[in-house]
Amino acid sequence: MAATTEKTGFWTTWALPQAFVSGAGLILAAWAVQLLYPALRLTLPAPPWNWPVAIAPVALALGLGWGWPRCPRLAGVASAPSAIAAVTGFALCLLPVAIWPQGTAAPAWLARLGLADALTSLPLTLMGALVLAILAVATGRRIRQREPGWLRFTFLHLGLITVMLAVAAGSPGIQRGWIEVSCDGPPVAVARTADGQVLRLPTALKLQEFRLESWPPRLVVGKAEAAVAADALLGPGTAITIAGLKILVAEWLPAAGVVAGIPRECHQPGAHPAARVQVDHAGGSVVGWLHPPGLFGEGLGVTLPDGRRVEMEPPRARRFSAVVRTAARPQEAVKEAVTIEVNAPLKLDGWWIHLLAYDQRLGAASRSVTLEAVEDRALPGVWAGLALVALGVILHGFAATAAFRGKIQVETATGTGQGAPR
Amino acid sequence: MTRTLLLSAIVTALTLWGLALAAIPLRTRPWWRHLGTGAAVAGWLVVVGAILGLWLDLGRPPLRTLGETRLWYAALVAGIGLALEWRLRLTVLRLPMLAMAGMFLALDLFRPDALDRTLRPALHSAWFVPHVATYLAAYALLGLACATALHGWWCVRRGELPAQAAAVPVLLVDLGLPLLTLGMILGAVWAKQAWGHYWAWDPKETWALATWVVYVGIVHFTRLRPDAHRTHLTLIAVAFATVCLCWFAVQWLPSAVVSVHTYTSD
């Protein structure tokens, strides 16, 4: 490489040094522009930059690669040195986001360098767009030239491009708003966006019922960070050995409230279980009640002579769902009741209504939930890209191992793989 | 499966893999070669059995805690390594494979997790197992690539780099990167299903992207300079640090304060 550079000059060949110098220059220039114009906030793939910075250049690059596969300049753009320099630059621009919190939580020195909002920065956006454009040119050329192995790489690369373009293309059409619905309030037919705008939903929603299914609670022994959690979940008759203690549940109340320090049955939503336990320790045994703090009474635990404390953790949520009634208009009669869960959004005329949160203070007694309504028409594109990538992975797995076997056989037979390493 | 039974399975698998490692220098003799392979396969079966037992006992896929993922990782490293050894007739994979799988299994012995049966509502999803398993398979390939690259360096220090020792790390990265890509897209589609967002720039997600980008660079470099074996070995060995960072160490970074993805001790 050094000899070639001396003979022909630095810029007359396109190899790793030239690609890295160009990439570094691009990043530094973009960083300088960002420092001079801090208000210039670009976020890919969000609008309005998705079209001018991502979708249009990528479509153009794909077309150019396909149309002029043998053009030397395009071959240079889509070469491995360009790809390596672009992904290295992209990785460098990602580092501030990866290491430090961003935005208002960013350290002051990072803000002074103009890197407190790296996600909306010009360098990251440009390098991301460059990576995609190089990938697109290479894919266009590959589809046209059909060199060995073209099919598997086309599936992998075209799948990736399809996913990214679908995300970017769907981005301006994405409408996202939050809805608070409750059992006691009126049906709600609008969602509020982050900037306070109103989105009309195709139906009015009202919470009919909130359901919270909890895991049985766990038992913990110790203090704060030094606490040890038991392997088994608590229940009637449970016998646990933990931290040298034998603990037996002598009495179990599935839902209890604490009255004057004693748990009593309490069949109300949000009531935690209580257990009367016998704790056998080295010096004898202690009997007492365990109850996690909650809506229906304070926390109860058993303190051992050595100062350690046996407690019951509040039961964790297993799954929660909202039964929501839908109606065409807020004042109209209810059409149907549907259940929304975390991984099972309600799909309604192109909208996906996700269940985001409930009133954790009230737990199972919560009478309101927060829903998020999202409309994204480009989702099928992402599915198509996913399918292409999956197909590419399978093809590549077989083809790469077969090619490797052939290569090793040849190298072993000819002896070209042996000897002093480079 | 009780903790004692799980720990017994780990000790058994480690013993069998120790035997397989001890048989490596003697593998020119057929009896020792068969014993070594048998012990390696038996150790792998014990770990797979432990995972299945844990799955049945916990009533959920054992993919939630760091310790559980380490168990899967050991099984995948050994399983993928043995499969490649058989399909490609490789001889250089045995030592790095068993060392890597054994190290992760031993970590589970010395830092066992609480056997927690609970699973958060967001993880009750058909995407959970495909996403995490694809990622762990990719990590297994990249981990094996790192181990074989270190083995390659050992060969370099001895003055000779056999064809297999130079080519296997490159092949493993070549197989791992597409799986990393697939795992990342599966995660994004799952997030879309659960929360309506493909990507939230959580530190874990950002490191997953950074890891992917690093390996994209390496794969392109191996194609650009196919004969620069020493550089390949160095890059592949060092790049595994990004996988480790993404997998274990994100929680120690300043950015982790805003993460919802980090493993917890509970």
Q: Which of A97-101, A160-164, A332-336 has the lowest mean pLDDT?
A: A332-336
> Cβ A419–B118 below 8 Å, yes or no?
no
Identify whether A362 is part of a domain. yes
Q: How far is B129 from chain A (nearest CA, A)?
A: 14
Cis peptide before A45, with omega less than 30 degrees from 0? yes
The verdict on B59 touching A (C-beta cutoff 8 Å) is no
Q: What is the mean pLDDT of residues A375-396?
A: 92
Chain B residues touching residue A386 (CB < 8 angstroms) = 182, 185-186, 189
CA of B45: how far to CAs of A2, A69, A285, B38, in Å? 53, 50, 43, 10
Nearest-10 crossing angle of helices A379-414, B66-88: 50
Chain-centroid distance, C-alpha B36: 22
pLDDT tens for residues B199-254?
A: 888 888 999 999 999 999 999 999 999 999 999 999 999 999 999 999 888 888 88
Chain B residues touching residue A401 (CB < 8 angstroms) = 84, 87-88, 171, 175
pLDDT tens for residues B115-167?
A: 778 888 888 899 999 999 999 999 999 999 999 999 999 999 998 888 888 99
Most confident of A12-16, A191-195, A269-273, B184-188: B184-188
Q: How far is B203 from chain A (nearest CA, A)?
A: 6
> Cβ A94–B209 below 8 Å, yes or no?
yes
pLDDT tens for residues A251-267?
A: 999 999 999 899 999 98
Nearest-10 crossing angle of helices B128-157, B163-195: 160
**In contact, A291 and A174? CB cutoff 8 Å:** no
Q: Which residues are CB-neighbours of B240 under 8 A, at least 6 positions away?
A: B142, B143, B145, B146
Tell whether A119 and A244 lie within a shared domain: no
**Which residues 87-116 of B are in CB contact (within 8 Å) with A?**
87-89, 114-116
Strand stretches in A291-416, DSSP E: 302-303, 309-312, 317-327, 336-341, 346-348, 351-358, 368-375
Q: Who wins on pLDDT, B43 or B2?
A: B43
Tell whether A22 and A61 lie within a shared domain: yes
Q: Who wins on pLDDT, A242 or B170?
A: B170
**In contact, A136 and A129? CB cutoff 8 Å:** no
CA distance A227 to A221: 5
Q: Give the pLDDT of residue A103.
A: 79
Chain A residues touching residue B158 (CB < 8 angstroms) = none
Chain B residues touching residue A233 (CB < 8 angstroms) = 117-118
Best mutation target among A95, A99, A151 (most B Cβ atoms within 10 Å) is A99
Long-range contact set of residues B250-256: C-beta below 8 Å, sequence gap at least 24: B250/B203, B250/B204, B250/B207, B253/A98, B253/A99, B253/A100, B253/B203, B254/A99, B254/A100, B254/A101, B254/A107, B255/A97, B255/A98, B255/A99, B255/A100, B255/A101, B255/A102, B255/B203, B255/B206, B256/B203
Tell whether A20 and A136 lie within a shared domain: yes
Tell whether A204 and A243 lie within a shared domain: no
Position A2 pLDDT exceeds 80: no
* pLDDT band, very low/low/confident/very high, at A173 (cuts 50, 70, 90): low
CA distance B173 to B144: 9
> Cβ B178–A389 below 8 Å, yes or no?
yes
**In contact, B63 and B133? CB cutoff 8 Å:** yes
Position A168 pLDDT exceeds 50: yes
CA of A88: how far to CAs of A106, A284, B136, in Å? 24, 64, 24
Arithmetic mean of pLDDT over chain A: 85
* Spatial CA neighbour of B93 closest among B41, B11, B152: B152
- Positive or negative: CA dihedral A314, B191, B115, B256: negative
Tell whether A57 and A109 lie within a shared domain: yes
Tell whether A119 and A11 lie within a shared domain: yes
Chain B residues touching residue A318 (CB < 8 angstroms) = 118-119, 121, 124
Cis peptide before A236, with omega less than 30 degrees from 0? no
Identify whether A402 is part of a domain. no
Chain B residues touching residue A316 (CB < 8 angstroms) = 118, 120
Instruction: Give the total residue count for chain B.
Output: 266
Instruction: Name the token pair of B21.
Output: 């490692």
Q: How far is B161 from chain A (nearest CA, A)?
A: 6
- Which of B156, B166, B196 minimises the CB distance to A176? B196
For the domain made up of B1-119, give the CATH fold.
Four Helix Bundle (Hemerythrin (Met), subunit A) (1.20.120)
Q: How far is B72 from chain A (nearest CA, A)?
A: 20
**Most distant pair of Cα atoms in chain A: their distance:** 93
> Cβ A354–B195 below 8 Å, yes or no?
yes
> Cβ B163–A412 below 8 Å, yes or no?
yes
CA distance B255 to A108: 14
Q: How far is A261 from chain B (nearest CA, A)?
A: 29
For chain B, the 3-state helix, strand and coil shares in percent, each to the nearest 5, are 80, 0, 20
CA distance B165 to B151: 7
**In contact, B82 and B41? CB cutoff 8 Å:** yes
Interface A-B, measured as beta-carbon pairs within 8 A, has a size of 190
Q: Taking CA atoms, what residue in A is nearest to B225?
A: A80
**Which residues 112-131 of B are in CB contact (within 8 Å) with A?**
114-122, 124-127
> Cβ B182–A412 below 8 Å, yes or no?
no
The verdict on B208 touching A (C-beta cutoff 8 Å) is no
- Would you tell me how many other CB atoms lie within 10 Å of the CB of residue A82? 25
Q: How far is A260 from chain B (nearest CA, A)?
A: 32
- Which of B160, B163, B227 minimises the CB distance to A408? B163
Which residues on neighbouring strands pair with residue A302, listed in sequence order? A310
Best mutation target among B255, B259, B265, B266 (most A Cβ atoms within 10 Å) is B255
> Cβ A87–B120 below 8 Å, yes or no?
no
Q: What is the mean pLDDT of residues A398-413?
A: 81
Q: What is the mean pLDDT of residues A355-382?
A: 86
Q: Of A268, A300, A315, which residue is a domain's last?
A: A315
pLDDT tens for residues A132-153?
A: 999 999 999 999 999 888 999 9
Please give the residue range of the domain that contains residue A191. Answer: 175-212+318-375
Strand stretches in A30-105, DSSP E: none
* Spatial CA neighbour of A126 closest among A22, A215, A213, A221: A22
* pLDDT band, very low/low/confident/very high, at A420 (cuts 50, 70, 90): very low
Strand stretches in A112-197, DSSP E: 175-182, 188-192
The verdict on B214 touching A (C-beta cutoff 8 Å) is yes
* Spatial CA neighbour of A421 closest among B171, B147, B233: B233
The verdict on B3 touching A (C-beta cutoff 8 Å) is yes
Tell whether A342 and A291 lie within a shared domain: no
Tell whether A335 and A306 lie within a shared domain: no
The verdict on B31 touching A (C-beta cutoff 8 Å) is no
Q: Of A145, A162, A193, which residue is a domain's last?
A: A145
Best mutation target among B68, B84, B115, B118 (most A Cβ atoms within 10 Å) is B118
> Cβ A231–B3 below 8 Å, yes or no?
yes
Tell whether A325 and A303 lie within a shared domain: no
- Which of A389, A396, A401 minimises the CB distance to B185? A389
Identify whether A386 is part of a domain. no
Chain B residues touching residue A379 (CB < 8 angstroms) = 192
CA distance A113 to A119: 14
- Positive or negative: CA dihedral B49, B53, B56, B58: negative
Tell whether A199 and A337 lie within a shared domain: yes
The verdict on B223 touching A (C-beta cutoff 8 Å) is yes
- Which of B185, B216, B220 minimises the CB distance to A163? B185
Tell whether A16 and A42 lie within a shared domain: yes
The verdict on B220 touching A (C-beta cutoff 8 Å) is yes
Identify whether A400 is part of a domain. no
**In contact, A204 and A306? CB cutoff 8 Å:** no
C-alpha count within 13 angstroms, C-beta hemisphere, residue B65? 20
**Burial label, B169 (beta-carbon count in 10 A; 0-12, 13-18, 19+):** buried
Position B258 pLDDT exceeds 70: no
Identify whether A169 is part of a domain. no
Number of domains in chain A: 3
Position A328 pLDDT exceeds 70: no
Q: Which amino acid is at A186?
A: P
ipTM of the complex in this document: 0.89
- Would you tell me how many other CB atoms lie within 10 Å of the CB of residue A147? 10
Domain assignments of chain B as residue spans, ordered by start: 1-119, 129-266
* Spatial CA neighbour of A256 closest among A265, A269, A243, A248: A265
Identify whether A40 is part of a domain. yes
Q: What is the mean pLDDT of residues A323-332?
A: 71
- Which of A316, A352, A400 minimises the CB distance to B171? A400
Task: Output the 3-class SS for B122-137.
Answer: HHCCCCHHHHHHHHHH
Q: Of A126, A145, A164, which residue is a domain's last?
A: A145
According to DSSP, residue A364 is labeled: G
Q: Work out the angle at residue B37's Cα, subtended by the Cα atoms of residues B36 and B41, and round it to the nearest 5 degrees.
A: 120
Chain B residues touching residue A98 (CB < 8 angstroms) = 203, 206-207, 210, 253, 255
**Most distant pair of Cα atoms in chain B: their distance:** 59
Tell whether A239 and A345 lie within a shared domain: no
Identify whether A364 is part of a domain. yes
Q: Work out the angle at residue A323's Cα, subtended by the Cα atoms of residues A215 and A255, and round it to the nearest 5 degrees.
A: 35
> Cβ B254–A100 below 8 Å, yes or no?
yes
- Which of A83, A390, A405 minimises the CB distance to B182? A390
Q: Is A78 helix (H, G, I), strand (E, B) or coil?
A: coil
Position A7 pLDDT exceeds 60: no
Identify whether A91 is part of a domain. yes
Q: Which amino acid is at A202?
A: P
